[in-house]
Structure 1
Amino acid sequence: MSGGWNTIESDAGVFTYLVENLGVKNVQFEEMISLDSDYLRQLSPVYGVIFLFKYPVGQSKPDDGNAVDGNFDFAAAENLFFANQVIQNACATQAILSVLLNRGDIEVGNDLSEFKEFTQQFPSDLRGEALSNSELIRTVHNSFARSSPFIDEGTRAATENDDVYHFIAYTTINGNLYELDGLQPSPIAHGPCTDENFHEKIIPVLQRRIERYPANEIRFNLLAMIKDPRVTAAAIGDVETLEREEQRREAWLWENELRRHNFVGFIHEVAKEVARSKLKDGGFDQWIEEARDKSKKRLADKKGGLADVEMEL
């Protein structure tokens, strides 16, 4: 069972407004277009990184109980916010919360503050249960799911033939770089790290992660959680940056609204109106015949193209 959680996209606009709707202040997401420490430094302050990657169904864990990269830190799990993922499709929001609720320099709002306080003494599996049962967090999460009348991702479990994707988080906590993955037994420590050198420390960790995959695997996505640029721009009077960021926010709002709607009914009504118009002016049969001729021509052209390919081979 998915518990009513739907898949959401790894998108800067989706994540930015998701956390805003949860009550978080002055946080924005930026897509990392390059695994370059200088580029990441330019986005400072960076609170953390959300990493999306293909997760092989049935992937086994190391037999020796050690992490593939870094070290399990079971003691840290008791002193920071770490929740095991116990429900399908919640990993995006869970990764985001893994950064938000472990930072002391982000204003997360009353609701998330109360949730963190309520789950503070829970073991990681019960924190995951509490997260999955949070009506507020689930409702906000699902409000950014792409609407589809054909797919219910909670009706079946993933199989080995499916492409399954997973979100994890990286952030600095108590002077260390941590990987926070709800499918792992504990946080994974990657060594000493501060906010000042996070941009240098995180890049080799990400590179090692990506190198585990075949060279032709390119389906990764990285989003940096940063301070809202509008705050700094307003403080220093940078009108150009402020206007540019406001325009981006407006574009994200529009895109998010489009995600909430499916257009099957609209397309159906348009098709009916076109057919009605053709019937009214007596051109319906001609319209159908022209469409049939075009389909035949496309099929013939396609067959001709395949023949050319066979000759070349």
Structure 2
Amino acid sequence: MAESGGWHTIESDAGVFTYLIESLGVQGVQFEELIALEADYLKQLSPVYGVIFLFKYQMGKNRSEAPMDGRHDMDAPNHMFFANQTIQNACATQAILSVLLNADKEQVDIGDSLREFKEFTNGFPSDLRGETLSNSDLIRDVHNSFSRSSPFVDEGTRQATEEDDLYHFIAYTPVNGVLYEIDGLQPAPIAHGSCTQDEFCDKVIPVIHRRIDRYPPSEIRFNLMAVVQDLRVKAVEIGDEEMLAREEQKRNDWETENELRRHNFVGFIHELLKGVIKEKIKGGTYDEWIKQTKDLNLQKAIAARKGEPVD
């Protein structure tokens, strides 16, 4: 896999993902973070088009090995969108598109831009599809517009090593009556047995549980995001005004958070800290302030070692 090629990392965040796909022209779809890994909980969000799973990636694994669960479907339908990941930092958007570009067109409106992209790459081998995705100015620019502003060196400018904590996004979605795991680092989609759209919630949860169980019990750094119908549309359909108000407020909060991501506050914080220090020195309380801060940090460190709550 090549280096970043101008792709930046983005957060696994429902607001980021929702506004990202809307910027690409997708209509009537949003993301919801799952706080419980239960089929009944997932069903409450129906219709569910797929899920995006974030996990710590184990470096050095041979991508041609047989999967530990399921099987590589080398004969997956030609019209199915599967692209190899050919560049770093693109896996979040690639996983998202793996759900959307395989969704039933009667259920999901992916918009003109993604529809043209899907039609253009139809019939391409998976590696060429990945190269085409990586070189799409539109998709890359929209993806990068949701990365955090940083004054420091972009991690994407260097090749990852086995010492890094790396995280990877993959997708699970039903296609043509089969539950597929779509991972751009694999040679083909991974089939997990028969699965209709109505069965998806019941069948995907055990698969994810089995994957998590392969990690040590101490590993808790996982994130699962459901790709669902815009919940504002659902609220209107069932006439739930309270739900509609909550979803509208959620959208407002997401918009604010996304706007903040685009700003670099290091300069502001630096000037603020300079002002605080200036006032402490002027008032003759600087040394006492530093001592109190050190004592407080020491107390927190001791409490943390003992497993005690830290205020």
| Kept in 2: contact 1:54–1:163 (CA 8 A) | yes
Q: Describe the SS at the equivalent of 2:114.
A: helix
- Are residues 296 and 51 of structure 1, via their aligned partners in 2, closer, same or farther at CA, if it must alter by over 3 Å? closer
Percent identical among aligned pairs is 63
Length, aligned pairs only:
301
Cα distance in 2 for partners of 1:255, 1:302 equals 33
Cα distance in 1 for partners of 2:301, 2:269 equals 33
- Are residues 292 and 250 of structure 1, via their aligned partners in 2, closer, same or farther at CA, if it must alter by over 3 Å? closer
Which 4+ stretches in 1 moved above 6 angstroms?
Answer: none
One-letter amino acid of the counterpart of residue 166, structure 1:
H
2:75 maps to which residue?
Answer: 75
CA deviations on 1:78-131 (whole Å, 9 max, x unpaired) are 331000000000000000000000112210101101111111121100110011
Q: Describe the SS at the equivalent of 2:180.
A: strand
**Residue 252 (str. 1) matches residue 254 (str. 2):** yes
1:35 maps to which residue?
Answer: 37
One-letter amino acid of the counterpart of residue 94, structure 1:
Q
One-letter amino acid of the counterpart of residue 78, structure 1:
N
- Are residues 296 and 174 of structure 1, via their aligned partners in 2, closer, same or farther at CA, if it must alter by over 3 Å? closer
1:290 maps to which residue?
Answer: 288
- Are residues 212 and 275 of structure 1, via their aligned partners in 2, closer, same or farther at CA, if it must alter by over 3 Å? closer
How far does residue 75 in structure 1 lie from its aligned partner after superposition?
1.7
CA deviations on 1:164-207 (whole Å, 9 max, x unpaired) are 00000000101110110000000111111011111111111111
CA deviations on 1:228-256 (whole Å, 9 max, x unpaired) are 11112223332111111000111111111
| Kept in 1: contact 2:8–2:147 (CA 8 A) | yes
One-letter amino acid of the counterpart of residue 97, structure 1:
L
**Residue 94 (str. 1) matches residue 97 (str. 2):** no
Please, which of 112, 115, 139 is the counterpart of residue 114 of structure 2? 112
1:239 maps to which residue?
Answer: 241
Moved more, 220-229 or 74-83: 74-83
- Are residues 140 and 298 of structure 1, via their aligned partners in 2, closer, same or farther at CA, if it must alter by over 3 Å? same
- Are residues 88 and 303 of structure 1, via their aligned partners in 2, closer, same or farther at CA, if it must alter by over 3 Å? closer
How far does residue 155 in structure 1 lie from its aligned partner after superposition?
2.2
Moved more, 108-117 or 261-270: 261-270
Q: Describe the SS at the equivalent of 2:156.
A: coil
1:88-167 aligned at under 5 Å gives the runs 88-104=88-104, 105-167=107-169
One-letter amino acid of the counterpart of residue 102, structure 1:
N
Q: Rg larger in 1 or in 2?
A: 1
| Kept in 2: contact 1:57–1:158 (CA 8 A) | no
Please, which of 225, 228, 231 is the counterpart of residue 226 of structure 1? 228
| Kept in 1: contact 2:151–2:264 (CA 8 A) | yes
Q: Describe the SS at the equivalent of 1:168.
A: strand
2:309 maps to which residue?
Answer: none
One-letter amino acid of the counterpart of residue 167, structure 2:
Y
One-letter amino acid of the counterpart of residue 72, structure 2:
F
Q: Describe the SS at the equivalent of 2:191.
A: strand
- Are residues 268 and 175 of structure 1, via their aligned partners in 2, closer, same or farther at CA, if it must alter by over 3 Å? same
How far does residue 302 in structure 1 lie from its aligned partner after superposition?
5.5
In structure 1, runs of 5+ residues without a counterpart are: none
1:16 maps to which residue?
Answer: 18
**What's the TM-score once normalised by structure 2's chain length?**
0.90
Q: Describe the SS at the equivalent of 1:225.
A: strand
Cα distance in 1 for partners of 2:195, 2:180 equals 9
How far does residue 269 in structure 1 lie from its aligned partner after superposition?
2.5
RMSD: 2.3
2:187 maps to which residue?
Answer: 185
Q: Describe the SS at the equivalent of 1:76.
A: coil
Cα distance in 2 for partners of 1:303, 1:212 equals 33
| Kept in 2: contact 1:16–1:28 (CA 8 A) | yes
In structure 2, runs of 5+ residues without a counterpart are: 307-311
Cα distance in 2 for partners of 1:139, 1:91 equals 15
One-letter amino acid of the counterpart of residue 129, structure 2:
R
CA deviations on 1:193-231 (whole Å, 9 max, x unpaired) are 011111111111111111111111111100010001111
| Kept in 1: contact 2:95–2:182 (CA 8 A) | yes
